[in-house]
């Protein structure tokens, strides 16, 4: 297979469609893994190009994926937007027989070649179970959300919250769950005021959780205001989260190996398109718990 593929001497361009992001974000790790996989397969002329869209604006998703189609990709890795606009895109990929891998949020009805990401419901359930090991005597738990028009924009975050609340309802129904929204519309400069107002009015709250990679927003606020009796639990081993974990404002992080996901998505397209191999349709990533004691031993890649 390898000899035949090398002899064919064809080049392949895979497009990675991801949300626009800041540095030190979960998506940055995805990109690094994807680019590394292309580098490893450079003898087969595999190239990865990245296309960005605004996750809070579905119109930019439509515009960018249409641009992707114009470029005639050999394969696509897509982080989905809303189901309806994503379906329009993936239907066109199916029509053109262009394989695509789905990343982050699993939408089985769209029939991707493969999926990489965590089992979001199980992840949220696990998060609740771990949090309640240190918060079982509390009367109230806070969920902190970054929102657009009052809603989180990721199906993955919705499912994590659902799994979390399922565990809480099953095992700690007497504990109150409160939401605080950090609206993107207000700008990040307002977040400290929102958090200050809540914690001043609710000194009984000592534990909170967020289902995205921005736990450091609350973690840094807690450090800056010297609230040592409050901790937040979050997701993703990005640098800012790791620093808060080491300083004690984040109690736990759930890691999902973003670098490995990016690498595996490209390698899956390579296996299926270049080597004509059968690939696994569903690939759930490990749910790993990080604390300040073991975070230094976390590895982005497999040995």
Last residue of a domain, one of 212, 235, 255: 255
Whether 218 and 241 have beta carbons less than 8 Å apart is answered as no
CATH number, domain with residue 175: 3.40.50.2300
For residue 42, being part of any structural domain is answered with: yes
Domain hosting residue 110, numbered range: 2-118+257-286
Q: Are residues 18 and 142 in the same domain?
A: no
Q: Are residues 156 and 100 in the same domain?
A: no
Phi, psi at 95, each rounded to 5°: -60, -35
Write the Ramachandran bin of 45: left for phi over 0, alpha for psi from -120 to 50, otherwise beta: left
Q: Are residues 30 and 96 in the same domain?
A: yes
For residue 33, being part of any structural domain is answered with: yes
Q: Are residues 143 and 53 in the same domain?
A: no
Q: Are residues 136 and 251 in the same domain?
A: yes
Q: Are residues 97 and 210 in the same domain?
A: no
Please, which residues bridge with residue 42 across strands?
none
What integer pLDDT is reported at residue 70 of this predicted model? Answer: 97
Please state the pTM of the whole predicted model. 0.90
Q: For residues 36 and 39, what is the distance between their CA atoms, to the nearest angstrom?
A: 5
For residue 293, being part of any structural domain is answered with: no
What integer pLDDT is reported at residue 56 of this predicted model? Answer: 82
What integer pLDDT is reported at residue 122 of this predicted model? Answer: 97
Q: What is the mean pLDDT, run by run of 10 residues, along the chain of 303 residues? A: 69 96 81 96 94 92 97 97 94 98 93 96 97 96 92 88 98 98 88 97 97 95 96 94 96 94 97 95 94 87 53
């Amino acid at each position: 297979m390898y000899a035949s593929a090398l002899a064919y001497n064809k080049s392949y361009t895979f497009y990675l469609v991801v949300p626009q992001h800041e540095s030190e974000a979960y998506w940055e790790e995805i990109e690094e893994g994807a680019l590394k996989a292309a580098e490893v397969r450079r003898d087969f002329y595999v190239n990865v190009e990245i296309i960005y869209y605004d996750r809070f604006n579905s119109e930019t998703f439509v515009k960018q994926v249409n641009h992707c189609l114009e470029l005639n990709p050999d394969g696509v890795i897509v982080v989905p937007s809303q189901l309806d606009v994503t379906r329009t895109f993936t239907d066109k990929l199916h029509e053109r027989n262009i394989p695509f891998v789905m990343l982050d949020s699993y939408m089985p009805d769209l029939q991707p070649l493969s999926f990489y990401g965590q089992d979001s419901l199980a992840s949220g359930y696990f998060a609740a179970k771990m949090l309640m090991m240190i918060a079982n005597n509390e009367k109230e738990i806070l969920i902190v959300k970054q929102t657009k028009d009052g809603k989180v924009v990721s199906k993955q975050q919705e499912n994590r919250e659902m799994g979390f609340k399922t565990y809480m309802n099953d095992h700690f129904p007497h504990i109150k769950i409160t939401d605080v929204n950090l609206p993107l519309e207000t700008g990040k400069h307002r977040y400290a005021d929102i958090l200050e107002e809540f914690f001043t009015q609710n000194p009984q709250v000592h534990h909170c959780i967020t289902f995205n990679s921005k736990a450091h927003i609350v973690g840094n606020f807690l450090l800056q205001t010297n609230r040592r009796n409050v901790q937040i639990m979050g997701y993703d081993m990005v640098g800012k989260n790791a620093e808060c974990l080491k300083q004690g404002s984040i109690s736990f992080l759930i890691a999902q190996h973003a670098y490995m996901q990016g690498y595996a998505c490209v390698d899956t397209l390579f296996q299926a398109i270049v080597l004509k191999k059968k690939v696994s349709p569903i690939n759930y990533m490990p749910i790993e718990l990080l604390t300040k004691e073991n975070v230094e031993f976390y590895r982005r890649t497999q040995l």
